[in-house]
Amino acid sequence: MISGFSLYLVFKDVSLQDVLGSFIKADWRYIGLALVCVMLSFIAKTWRWRTLLGSKGKTLRIPNLFMNIVVGQLLNNIYPARVGDLSRAYLVGRQGPGGIFVLGTVIIEKVFDLLFYAVFFILTLLLIPLPGWIAKSAYSLTAITVLAILIVILLTLRMNFFLGLIEKIIKKLPSKYQAPILSRLEPGMASLLVLKSRWDLFKIMGISALIWGIAVLTNGVTLLALNLQLPWFAWILVLMLLQVGISIPSIPGNVGIFEYACVLALSFFAVGSAQALSFGILLHGIVLIPLIVFGLSFIWLMGVKPAIPAKL
């Protein structure tokens, strides 16, 4: 229903001939560059994840991590509840590091993404006059981000203290629950050890900045492909609203919501509905088509069965 209503909103006042005309005039050189940006994003995410895995990830092959990143993102687009992230923890964890440890690295990865999302969101508010409800969302997001980072810092610096404290709490539970929880506690906390290295922390921050920079550049290059000359902060606003949009329940691929988020973002810069919709469709294709082609190929190569693991 949400996806259908979004599609209605973006198509109700738009001439399909105008949309088709925008595609015909598109510059394929910029479209090719945008596709390169998408591939570079996969590579950067693999590099960051390899760093987060630390010493336990040294035995894992880089191509295997790359394929898991792509497959995970594809599954996130198909299934709800971030199933793709759980699949990464399961598939890579069973190769040696352990599912709980790998899941911990995925959670840390999301904390860094949350940090940069909050930074970009606040930057957008400073550059563009946005409605009050968006500003309130940004401040709420910033508060959640600060809290998440503080928790990660405390757990990293005082790991032994918190391990002992949690163990005391767990030992008050019925004995049949103690062993399963304790066996997963230490591997999960061990995923934080990489953050104790200043070099690794700096590296993860730098790669995260690169990932978000590539995402912004992808938007900008796609706009240029349609000859939409907009300021660089418009590229950021598109990314911010897309991140909000893809968190809303929708049909697989975020069809409808993705396009509506693009139309809404470009409306702040007086871009016509037909051009904005053309941009949304083109950007969605640039992001989704490589994901589908490579993701399905990698699922076949890896022999992954479409089932959610019952146990990490």
Of 214-223, 227-236, 238-247, 273-282, which one has max mean pLDDT? 214-223
Looking at per-residue pLDDT, the higher value among 128 and 135 belongs to 128
Over 70: is that where the pLDDT of 47 sits? yes
Q: In the predicted model, what is the mean pLDDT of the chain?
A: 84
Closest of 113, 77, 87 to residue 288, by C-alpha: 77
In this predicted structure, the answer to whether residue 212 has a pLDDT above a threshold of 90 is: yes
Name, in order, each residue with C-beta under 8 angstroms of 182's C-beta and a sequence gap of 6 or more: 167, 170
The phi-psi region of residue 33 (left if phi > 0; otherwise alpha if psi is between -120 and 50; otherwise beta) is alpha
What is the arithmetic mean of pLDDT over 285-303? 90
Is residue 244 pLDDT above 90, yes or no? no
Q: In whole angstroms, give the CA distance from residue 51 to residue 277.
A: 38
Each residue of 162-174: pLDDT tens digit? 888 887 888 777 8
Residue 308 has pLDDT above 70, yes or no: no
pLDDT at 166: 80
Give the Cα separation of 20 and 210 in Å (integer): 33
Distance CA(97)–CA(203), nearest Å, equals 21
